[in-house]
Amino acid sequence: MGIVKISDQMHENLRVASGALNRSINAQAEHWMRIGMLAETNPGLDYSDICQMLLRAAQEGGPVLAPAERRAHA
């Protein structure tokens, strides 16, 4: 586990969002990073598609992999 340095404004955004969504600040940051990673590695998908990917992976008990990671694990 490492430390990520973020701006004061981003930390405030995380604090507000985590309170509204009943997540810890770290869980909210990880959620945003996961969504961002999946959006960058799957540019044709919108937020709804990404959420569906996450739900499917949770139901199947496996990780959500970016396209390059899927090829490496195949």
pLDDT digits (tens, 9 = 90+) for 28-70: 999 999 999 999 999 999 999 999 999 988 898 877 765 555 5
- Cβ atoms within 10 Å of 29's Cβ, excluding its own: 19
One-letter amino acid of 73: H
Give the per-residue pLDDT at 66. Answer: 59
CA distance 23 to 68: 29
Sign of the dihedral defined by the CA atoms of residues 27, 45, 7, 10, in that order: negative
Closest CA to 64 of 43, 36, 34: 34
Do 50 and 65 meet the contact criterion of CB atoms below 8 Å apart?
Answer: no
Instruction: Name the pTM for this structure.
Output: 0.74
Give residue for tokens 């405030």: 12
Q: Any idea where the domains of the chain sit in the sequence?
A: 30-74
